[in-house]
Structures are given as structure tokens and as C-alpha cells.
Chains A and B, each alone.
Chain A
Amino acid sequence: MRFALYMGYRLATALPVIFGIMVLNFLLIHLAPGDAASVLAGESGAATPEYMDALRHKFGLDQSIGMQFVTYVSNMAHFNLGYSYRNDADVSSLILERLGPTSLLMLTAFGTAVALGIILGLIAATGRNSWRDNIISLISLVAYATPGFWLGLMMIVIFSIGLGWLPTSGFDTVGAGHEGWAEVWDVGRHLVMPAVSLALFYLALYARLMRSSVLEQTGMDYVTTARAKGQTERRIMTGHVLRNALLPIVTIAGVQAGNLIGGSIVVETVFGWPGIGALAFNALQSRDLNLLLAIFFMSACLIVIINLAVDVIYVMLDPRMEI
């Protein structure tokens, strides 16, 4: 009951925040010079003033900023994300189309980074200054310092062009018409390189963080006490140290989750992955305002939810913290 109340309270306080973000996004976007009509006409190479006027009228760009804002807010209140004139499609359908591939990529990258990072950090910490620790530390240092797009391109050179093991780009083999497990295998092969390039930086971060966090915890008094009580090392590690050591990981994981859309722009571009990041970038380039605002709105909601989830996970890990 208390938990439900807390969630309700947090969500209610998030509403004004999200509304504030909406207003800010709207104003910031309108500060940028250039509009969708001129970009569209620019790509066409020619246009008449009448054509441009017709475009602006169609896009609603001939209305005052105030009018446009009222339209925008009233659309949002009706859960209507609007129409992307540039793409000749509903914003919601454009976003929904991309949501699947984006979630797949992000969850894979996120899951890989968190799981492997924790495991590697643990391995490094338990064998402090051993060869395992040195290798893991070295690799994570290199991965930490390597830009994702460069890593992506290098993987294409090695695994696609050189070895021919993995496809260069895309979500699946177009026109292959795979079904069932063949489709899963096909998408999986396409997923490997983008997921790795997106995950590697945070994976390295988690590994380093986990290592130092575990080392810190093992020096604490409660570990000595547990040891004195005759508990096995394994029991000490899983029952006591791990829980406490995970707390900083959760904090950083919250940051990573918030960064995923932004960070995926480059990776999605390099690998031609049909995700939200690439969509957002195109929308910004072409001043596709409805689409851009919808993506911003979605990211804002996502961040609020992630923050909430992080707080809940804290409590689950450390009952001393109160809701």
C-alpha cells in the first residue's frame, strides 16, 4: 500500500516536470533557424514561392508560434502525436515502427553491459592483482577509451569484409524472407556488432566500478564479522558484499539507460539500424518538428521512469533506504 502510494506520488510530481520539458523542447526547437519547407525545397533543388507557401500552410508553419503551441499541447492531451509531413506518415506509426528494433538493440546492449560488466568486475576483484585481474583491467581500460563509432567501423572491416562472418548493416537480410528460428538467427547476426559497439563503453565502466566497489566492501567490518562467524567465502560474497557493491552500478546503469537514445544515434547510423536514434537525427536535420517533439517527449517519459526504477531498485538492494 505504502509502495503504491509512493509510486502514485512520484508519477504525479513527474507530470509538471514532463509538461515543463514539453514547453522547453517546443521553444528550443523554434529557436533553430530554418524550417521543414525550406529543407524539403532545398532537397528538391527548386521551388516557387507558391510551392513553398503551400508547403508551409500544409505544415502549419504559417501560424503564429502561440497557435502552433496550442495545437501541439491539445494534440498531446488527446494522445495524438501529430503528423510528420516530411515522411507523409503519422508520427506514432513512425515511432512504433522503430520501437521494436530500438528496444531490441538497447536492451541487448544494456543487458550485456550490465551482466558482463558485473561478472568481469567480480572476477577481477576476487583475483586481485592476478593475471585475470590484469587482463580484465587492461581490456576495460582500452574499451573505455575507444569511441563507439570507430569500434563499429573496425568491426565491420574485420568481421564483415575480412572474415565475412557478419553482415555489415541493417536489421535483417532484406528480401530473404526468413521465418521462425531462421529469422531469429538472422536478426541476431545483425545485432551482434551494433550491440557490442553500444555496450562496450559502459561494460568497461561497470567492470572497473564493480571491481573497486567489491574491493571496498570486502575491507568493511561486516565482512570481517561474517568471516568470524564462520561463513563461507561464497556466502559472504553473494549474501553480503554483492548487494552493497551493486549500488553504484545501479546509479551508473540509470545514467546509461538515459543515455541510450542519444548514444545510439551514432551506432544506428554506422550500422544502418532502423532505430529511434537515427530517426531523431533525421528529424532534427530536416526540422520535422512534430516527429522531433514526439521523440523528445518519449525520451523525457523514459528518463522519469528510469529514475523511478533506480530508486525502487536501491530499496530492494538495501532495505535501510526508505521509500
Chain B
Amino acid sequence: MNKISRRTALALPLGLAASSSTIFNSLAKADQPVRGGTMVMIVQPEPSTLAHYAVTAGNIPPIATQIYEGLVTYDWDQNPQPNLATSWETAPDGKSIIFKLREGVVFHNGKPFTSADVQFSFMEILKKYHPFAPLLLAELTGVDTPDEKTAVLLLANPAPYLMKALAGRDLPIMCKSVFEGTQILQNPSANKPIGTGPFKFGQWDRGQFVRLDRNEKYWKPGLPYLNHIIARFIPDAATRSAALETGEAHFAGYSAVNYADLARMKTNPMLDTTMKGYEMTPALSVLELNAKHPPLDKKEVRQAIAYAIDRKVILRDVMYGYGKPATGPLSSLFKTVGFYTDDVRKYDVPDRLDIANKLLDGAGLLRGANGMRFGMHLEVNSFGEQWLRQAEYLKQALAIVGIDLTLRSEDTATWLRRVYTDYDYDINEPFLSQGVDPVYGLNKQYLTSQIRKGVTFVNDSFYANPEFDGILNEAMREPDHDKRAVLYKKAQQILAEDCPLVWLIDVQYVSVFNRKLHDHTTGPLGTQQAFERAWLET
């Protein structure tokens, strides 16, 4: 605890300096927050449900985190800050965390918030139904409630990553009386959520919008400023951009606006963009190589593929300059918390094509009459146009070293079935979110135990390395932050050498917003935390 506090103290001025210049600009230009107004944000695509505790699709949190809150929130340096919990303390053995809960918090249905709600949320809802629970809450054995305002999370082993996942986005707190004695997944509150947050659920007009209304009884005095937030769903990308350009919508985060449109948006005096607010949503675009399909079982071949690709071309032509060439299995966003290293085998080197050709020659894969060594299928990511562009580039890039790619585009359900259930693929180009701690991104992608047929976005490249598994499992339970950092550095070096995946781009999301909207991005979770301080110029 002390250690973290020291780090906070050191990092705080840095964090403030780093926070978006646009926020300061808007503060300078507009004097005082104004109460009232309706903010329209674009959410893409329309969520299928608002049952945030059972489905973790990325389009749910922008709406759900206005309603559900977590025990803590995070500052720009990703250190936990009080929210529904006012203070916390981890036991010396790391096997329990005591949370003191806030007084005077009521749910939207009028019920007071107590430790019983924390216990019920964790043990009866999240641990049983949250998709990440087997990873996040694997060590959680129970929640003690010595009194109404104290909740103790009991752990089988230390779980240092848990302190990173207690915001409303990852582990929301629900009202016990709403769910008790009901079938959790069939609960009517799934699509009419009841939480403690600054906004209450108002109306869901399917195919159109979700309306949220100000919570007059919110526990932070004077907040929120806005009367309403409306999340609009516009399926067509060009129309989404148009809605921002006409002022019909004020905010669009994540990939709601095509990278291709961003340059045009920037020339509009009414609009501005920011890359802040994505510090706790690291993601990589990668290639998964099916090690069951020769010659991808050979390390040299996988490395040759990694050398053959010019990440700078993808960055420029596919991502329109947003993002960074990926150096390894962890997003560089983990630099903030000290887990990232680029001290690994480097694939972006000047003589990369020579190395690739040599590796392939060495593996006995000589060029045939047509100049090709062997052919492979690439499964095109079905989540949007840019992945097809990327696939087209990859076909050209790999042809240079003599690998003949055939692109295969299918719709989402077919694609997922082919890759993760039938394993009927050679190379796949998914987009991997990494969560707030290396535990999320690395464990599910590379542990031998994560080779699980029929489960999407896990270890489908059949990477199995007992030494690596040991390091990852040790790092997961190591309470000491610096020791964890050493372990993760080692893990990254091993992965970069074995090259089970090819890491392409360290993804950078962009938010587009109307200049009349202020204080929208106030922390590293960005759109995945409440817009309680956001306000609109009148």
C-alpha cells in the first residue's frame, strides 16, 4: 500500500501534465460548467443487451458505466481512487482486501448501498456470470461483511491484478434486492439497469437510441451537470461522421468514426479529436499462426513471417497513422505501469527481408517455379473494412518472401466458427484487447491451458511452453510489483523469440467531439467511465 502511495505521489504531477491539452483549452475558454443540456454520443454498434455483468462487449460500457459504478475509479496513472469504496487495505499476505464503503449512497430504486450488495454482486452475479470471472475472480473465495459499510474480499492466493479491475467497467456493483431470488440472466433489469451512478436508465428505443436521465440523488454533490445522455446508434460509418459534422451528435469514441474520416473531421472548426481516455484499454492487432498446420509449426517460419511485414506500411495505409508498430506481445500502454519492455527480439530491422528469406531457405522451404515457397489461407477479420485493407497488404508483403496468401472473407459467425471451433485456418488477423493488466492479455492468449476448442479469442495458435506457463502463473500471484515487472519482461522476451503470434500494430483509438462539450474525458477509462463532469456550452 505504502509503495503504491509513493508512486502516486511521484506520478501525479506527470499525470496532470500529460492529460489532454484539449481539456485545458476548454477550461480556459469556457469559464464555468453549465448545468443542464443533452449530450448525444454515438455508440457503435448497438449493444445487444445492457446486462453489463454478463456480457463484456465493448459497446456496452459507454452506456452501462453511466449507471453502474465500481468500488474504485482510476487516476491518469491508473492508481485506484475512492468511488463506492472510500478506502481499502490489502492484508500483508495478499489474501484479503478490506474495503470501507461510502455512506449515503442509494441505488436508483431508492435502496441504500451496503456491503450486502458488494457481496451479492461479487459472489452471486459476477463470479458466476461475468465472462472474465474465471480469470479475474478465480482466486476470490468469498466476501465477508462484518458490518454494513465494510466488505472484505477473501482470496485463495494474492491477486494483484484485481486492484486494476474494480472500476464500474470491469466489476460493477449491482443492487442485491433487484436480483435476489431471480434468475440472474433473465432478470428484467438486464435491459433496464439499476445502479448507483450519476445517470439513471430512461428509455431504450431499439434501433435508435438509449436515453439516460440525471440521477438527482447522486452521491457526489452538484453532479452530474448534464440532464440527459443519449447514446445513438447509426449503423453506417459515413452517416456517423455526418452526424458529428452537422452537430447532431457531440461525441464518438473508439472506432465509431473511420480513421479515413478523421483528417476531414479535424478541418471542421466545430470538432476536435483526442487520443486520451484509452490508457486502460490497450489492444493489439496481430496475426495468429496455426502451429498445427505445417510449416507454421517451425519457429523459423513464424519468425520469417514476422520479419516479412513492414508495420510502418500498415500504420500509414491501414491505420491512417494512428497507433504504433507493435514490438511484442504487450501493448506499449503498459509502459505507464512498468510492465512493458521493448528489450526483445526485434522484427522491424532494416535487413528484415534478407533475414526472412534466409530463415525460410534454412527451413528447407525453397522457391518453386513461380517464385513461391508455399501457400496459406488468411482469414480476414470480419469486423470492418480496415481489416480487409490490412489483409490485402499482407498478401503483397508475404508474396515478396515467397509465401502465397489466399484471402478468405466470411461473416462474423462463420469466421469465429472456422477459427476458434473448427481450427480450420492457417493465419488469422484478430484484434486483441489486453485488459488493464498483463494477466488478461497474456494468460488467455498464450497459456497452454487456454487451448480450448470452441472458445473465442483464446490460445488458438497452440502455443505450449511449460517454462513460459510457469513464469506467467508466478507473475499472476506475485504481490510485489517490481518482481512482477521482471517476470513479465522475461515472458515478453520468450514470446518474441518463439513468435507464436505476429504482433502488428499497437492500436490507438481516437475520440471525436464537438467543441461545445467539455470535460468528457476525465480519466484513463475514457468513454468507459461516467460522464459525470461533462457539460455542454449553451
Contact = CB atoms under 8 A, between A and B. Distances in A.
Do A and B bind?
A: yes
Contact of A156 (B51, B56, B242, B440): B242
Contact of B246 (A58, A101, A167, A275): A167
A34 interface: yes
Interface string B402-423: 0000000001111111101110
Contacts of A278: 207, 235
Nearest to A265: B235
Contact of B208 (A41, A89, A153, A272): A272
A167 B248 contact: yes
A34 B228 CA distance: 39
Contacts of A171: 205, 208
Nearest to B236: A270
Contacts of A169: 234, 236, 239, 242-243, 248
Given A46-B135, A168-B248, A175-B38, A286 B232 contact: no
* Residue among A46, A47, A87, A156 facing the most chain B CB atoms (10 A cut-off): A46
Given A94-B206, A286-B413, A33 B191 contact: no
Interface stretch (A48-56, A68-76, A181-189): A48-56
A285 interface: yes
Given A47-B131, A175-B38, A274-B205, A38 B420 contact: yes
A174 B208 CA distance: 8
Contact of B411 (A268, A270, A285): A285
Interface string B43-55: 0011011010001
Interface string B435-475: 00000100010000000101111100000000000000000
A46 B191 CA distance: 21
Contacts of B245: 161
A201 B299 CA distance: 56
Given A44-B131, A161-B246, A174 B40 contact: yes
Contacts of B242: 156-157, 160-161, 168-169
B239 A52 contact: no
A101 B208 CA distance: 11
A46 B131 contact: yes
B233 A272 contact: yes
Contact of B444 (A38, A46, A156): A46
B517 to A, nearest CB: 15
Contacts of B457: 42, 45-46
Interface hub of A35, A45, A48, A161 (most chain B Cβ within 10 A): A45
A34 B40 contact: no
A153 B46 CA distance: 21
Contacts of B228: 175
Contacts of B209: 170, 174-175
Given A34-B417, A41-B131, A47 B456 contact: yes
A98 interface: yes
Contacts of B48: 40, 43, 86-88, 286
A160 to B, nearest CB: 5
B206 A175 contact: no
B285 to A, nearest CB: 14
Contacts of A51: 129, 131, 134
A309 to B, nearest CB: 28
Contact of B239 (A40, A58, A94, A168): A168
Contact of B417 (A33, A101, A270): A33
A164 interface: yes
A32 interface: yes
Given A42-B456, A48-B134, A88-B190, A285 B208 contact: no
Given A51-B131, A168-B239, A278-B207, A45 B58 contact: yes
Contacts of B458: 46
Interface in B454-502: 454-458
B132 interface: yes
Contacts of A164: 246
Residue among B235, B236, B248 having the largest count of chain A Cβ atoms under 10 Å? B236
A46 B132 contact: yes
Given A46-B131, A46-B132, A170-B232, A40 B55 contact: yes
Interface string B243-279: 1011010000000000000000000000000000000
B237 to A, nearest CB: 10
A171 B49 CA distance: 21
Contacts of A268: 235
A268 B207 CA distance: 10
A94 B230 CA distance: 20
Contacts of A50: 134
B238 interface: yes
Contact of A160 (B56, B131, B185, B246): B246
Contacts of A314: none
A51 B54 CA distance: 10
B8 interface: no
Contacts of A39: 412-413, 416
B19 interface: no
B57 interface: yes
Nearest to A36: B413
A167 B244 CA distance: 11
Contact of A38 (B51, B57, B58, B416): B416
A87 B55 CA distance: 12
A286 B243 CA distance: 26
Contacts of A271: 236, 239
B390 to A, nearest CB: 18
A18 B416 CA distance: 33
B211 interface: yes
A160 B433 CA distance: 36
A41 B206 contact: no
Contacts of B206: 87, 89, 94, 97-98, 274
B57 A156 contact: no
A32 B414 contact: yes
B51 A88 contact: yes
A269 interface: yes
A94 B49 CA distance: 13
Contacts of B38: 175
B524 to A, nearest CB: 19
B500 to A, nearest CB: 18
B473 to A, nearest CB: 17
A153 B245 CA distance: 14
A287 interface: yes
Given A175-B211, A270-B239, 14 more contacts: A32-B414, A33-B417, A35-B417, A38-B417, A41-B131, A45-B433, A86-B48, A169-B243, A271-B239, A272-B207, A272-B234, A285-B413, A286-B413, A287-B413
6 contacts: A34-B415, A34-B416, A40-B57, A45-B456, A169-B242, A270-B236
